[in-house]
């Protein structure tokens, strides 16, 4: 198993060019980085409360969850094995269940909520607002790193310009000893198949003691990504001075942003497994994760970002073969005479490949 050392970036000042450079370097090298939890817009209570809602929802009766089953608009509940992230290699769908929420509008969910969640609509709305704010910091820093207008990405993600594919997702992966994983075959199955994400950036919240994420290194080896690389908390949710902290948020670049930057930013392939530490654990836990997929406004045309750094990358790449980006990224070649894809066309093409509704 390869080891990888992802940086933990403090995003409290999104206007600091040196932080922008560090962010860009990590995004171009690994496609993954952590942001320090205390430097984001979330309080530990926000994160704890959201995980609590997720657990309550997944523990609710299946008939209730079934009332909000996922539909082709990508919103709602998907049960065990409904999603297959790597259909070419998986004999069975992912060992997980998920709940997707579309963009909240004026405090309201854009879809029916099940009984366990409907009283908590304001809490869910607040959480998505904080996700958006934190994404705006990251997008501002990436623009600084690319030496374009610092608002280049944030204006194109601003909901005042129209709807987008932004999605909040709760995920539940049963533990290794759960009856639901009884027929899981190690070395053959995965909890979530290898894939790259579809949007611009993704935020991933994980919980101490619930590992599982792996990323594919440039050497094509799987590397485990720790939940808590050890600097923000002691693994029990306690910060160094004893105050409650949550593990850093893992951020990754999605296919769309990779495409938009002509492959400079990497949309890295990742998956979820039972790592060896989990297979040997005495108190193995279910894994709960919360994911926020950030997307530009649907109508955004993905004309390559007008950055000298992107131009230089494009020039350099012509001489090499190295333009493999994620699974669905690909570099955003602009075919002469054709207009660029829009953000929503890009997303629809990627979604069509992975769900059996
Ligand atoms: O649950 C996780 O850790 C990863 C989830 C993920 O990669 C996804 O939903 O795209
Ligand atoms: Fe993912």
Locate 195 and state its tokens.
């894939």
pLDDT at 178: 85
Q: Which of 26, 24, 30 is nearest to 3 (CA)?
A: 30
CA distances from 177 to 116, 174, 281, 282 (A): 26, 8, 11, 10
Q: Is the CB of 196 under 6 A from ligand 1?
A: no
Asked whether residue 238 is assigned to any structural domain, the reply reads no
β-sheet bridge partners, residue 201: 253, 294
Q: What is the dihedral of CA 214, 177, 290, 78, to 10 degrees?
A: 110
For 151-169, b/e burial (b = at least 16 CB within 10 A) is ebbbebbeeeeeebbbbbb
Q: Is the CB of 267 under 6 A from ligand 1?
A: no
Largest CA distance in the chain: 61
Q: Is the CB of 270 under 6 A from ligand 1?
A: yes
Expressed in angstroms and rounded, the spacing between residue 199 Cα and the centre of ligand 2 is: 10
DSSP-derived secondary structure for 227-260: S--SSS--SSSB-TTSSB--PPEEEEE-HHHHHH
Expressed in angstroms and rounded, the spacing between residue 130 Cα and the centre of ligand 2 is: 20
pLDDT at 274: 87
pLDDT at 328: 43
pLDDT at 357: 46
pLDDT at 234: 44
- Name residues whose C-beta falls within 8 Å of residue 61's C-beta, 6 or more positions apart in sequence: none
Which residue, chain included where needed, has tokens 């079934």?
66
Q: Are 293 and 197 in contact (CB under 8 A)?
A: yes
CA nearest ligand 1 atom 1, residue? 289
Q: Is the CB of 201 under 6 A from ligand 1?
A: no
Q: Is the CB of 143 under 6 A from ligand 1?
A: no
DSSP state of 265: S
Expressed in angstroms and rounded, the spacing between residue 40 Cα and the centre of ligand 1 is: 20
Burial class (CB within 10 angstroms; exposed 0-12, middle 13-18, buried 19+) of 341 = buried
Asked whether residue 241 is assigned to any structural domain, the reply reads no
- Among 171, 249, 285, which is best to mutate for testing ligand 1, by the most ligand atoms less than 8 A from CB? 171
Asked whether residue 61 is assigned to any structural domain, the reply reads yes
> Measured from the CA of 271, which atom of ligand 1 is nearest?
7
State yes or no: ipTM above 0.95: yes
Q: Is the CB of 74 under 6 A from ligand 1?
A: no
Asked whether residue 237 is assigned to any structural domain, the reply reads no
Phi and psi at residue 120, to the nearest 5°: -110, 20
Question: Where are any strands of DSSP class E within the chain?
Answer: 8-9, 32-35, 76-78, 97-101, 167-173, 192-195, 201-205, 213-216, 222-224, 249-253, 270-272, 287-294
**Domain containing 124: what range?**
8-229+248-354
Give the CATH number, domain containing residue 199. Answer: 2.60.120.330
Asked whether residue 243 is assigned to any structural domain, the reply reads no
- The CA distance from 38 to 10, in Å, is 8
CA nearest ligand 1 atom 5, residue? 291
DSSP state of 341: P
Q: Is the CB of 289 under 6 A from ligand 1?
A: yes
pLDDT at 353: 62
Query: Rounded to the nearest 10 degrees, what angle do helices 121-146 and 308-318 cross at?
Result: 70
pLDDT at 332: 52
DSSP-derived secondary structure for 141-189: HHHHHHTS-TTHHHHHT-GGG--B--EEEEEEE--TTSGGGTT--TTT-
pLDDT tens over the chain, length 357 residues = 777 889 999 999 999 999 999 999 999 999 999 999 999 999 999 999 999 999 999 999 999 999 999 998 889 999 988 888 888 888 888 888 999 999 999 999 999 999 999 999 999 999 999 999 999 999 999 999 999 999 999 999 999 999 999 999 999 999 888 888 888 888 788 899 999 999 999 999 999 999 999 999 988 899 999 999 974 444 444 445 545 589 999 999 999 999 999 899 999 999 999 887 777 777 789 999 999 999 999 999 998 899 999 999 988 876 655 555 444 444 455 555 667 889 999 888 777 765 554
pLDDT at 319: 61
Q: How many helices (H) and strands (E) does the chain have?
A: 9, 12
Number of domains in the chain: 1
Q: Is the CB of 204 under 6 A from ligand 1?
A: yes
Asked whether residue 118 is assigned to any structural domain, the reply reads yes
Locate 26 and state its tokens.
């990590």
Which residue, chain included where needed, has tokens 């950030």?
294
pLDDT at 334: 54
Asked whether residue 147 is assigned to any structural domain, the reply reads yes
Q: Is the CB of 100 under 6 A from ligand 1?
A: no
Asked whether residue 17 is assigned to any structural domain, the reply reads yes
- The CA distance from 337 to 281, in Å, is 57
Tell me, rounded to whole angstroms, the distance of Cα 120 from its chain centroid.
23
Report yes or no on whether pTM surpasses 0.90. Answer: yes
Phi and psi at residue 329, to the nearest 5°: -75, -75
- The CA distance from 326 to 336, in Å, is 24
CA nearest ligand 1 atom 9, residue? 291
> Measured from the CA of 287, which atom of ligand 1 is nearest?
1
Q: Are 208 and 247 in contact (CB under 8 A)?
A: yes
């Amino acid at each position: 198993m390869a080891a990888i050392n992802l940086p933990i970036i403090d995003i409290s000042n999104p206007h600091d060019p040196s932080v922008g450079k560090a962010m860009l370097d990590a995004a171009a090298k690994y496609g993954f980085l952590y942001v320090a939890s205390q430097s984001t817009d979330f309080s530990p209570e926000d994160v704890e409360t959201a995980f609590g809602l997720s657990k309550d929802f997944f523990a609710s009766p299946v008939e209730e969850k079934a009332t909000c089953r996922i539909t082709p608009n990508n919103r709602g509940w998907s049960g065990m094995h409904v999603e297959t992230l790597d259909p070419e290699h998986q004999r069975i769908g992912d060992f997980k269940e998920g709940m997707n929420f579309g963009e909240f509008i004026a405090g309201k969910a854009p879809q029916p909520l099940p009984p366990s969640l409907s009283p908590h609509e304001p809490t869910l709305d607040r959480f998505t607002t904080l996700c958006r704010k934190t994404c705006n910091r990251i997008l501002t820093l990436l623009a600084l790193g690319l030496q374009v207008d610092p608002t280049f990405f944030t204006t194109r993600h601003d909901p005042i310009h129209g709807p987008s594919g932004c999605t909040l997702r709760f995920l539940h992966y049963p533990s290794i000893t759960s009856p639901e994983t009884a027929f899981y075959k190690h070395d053959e199955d995965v909890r979530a198949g290898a894939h790259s994400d579809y949007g611009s950036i993704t935020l991933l919240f994980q919980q101490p003691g619930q590992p599982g994420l792996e990323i594919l290194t440039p050497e094509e080896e799987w590397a485990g990504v720790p939940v808590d690389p050890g600097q923000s908390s002691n693994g029990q949710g306690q910060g160094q001075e004893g105050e409650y902290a949550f593990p850093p948020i893992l951020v990754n670049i999605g296919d769309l942003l990779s495409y938009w930057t002509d492959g400079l930013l990497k949309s890295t392939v990742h998956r979820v497994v039972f790592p060896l530490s989990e297979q040997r654990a005495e108190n193995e836990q279910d894994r709960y994760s919360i994911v926020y997929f950030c997307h530009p406004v649907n109508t955004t045309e993905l004309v390559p970002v007008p950055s000298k750094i992107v131009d230089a990358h494009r020039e350099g790449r012509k001489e090499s073969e190295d333009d493999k980006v994620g699974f669905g990224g690909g570099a955003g070649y602009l075919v002469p005479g054709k207009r660029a894809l829009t953000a929503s066309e890009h997303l629809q093409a990627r979604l069509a490949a992975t769900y059996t509704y």
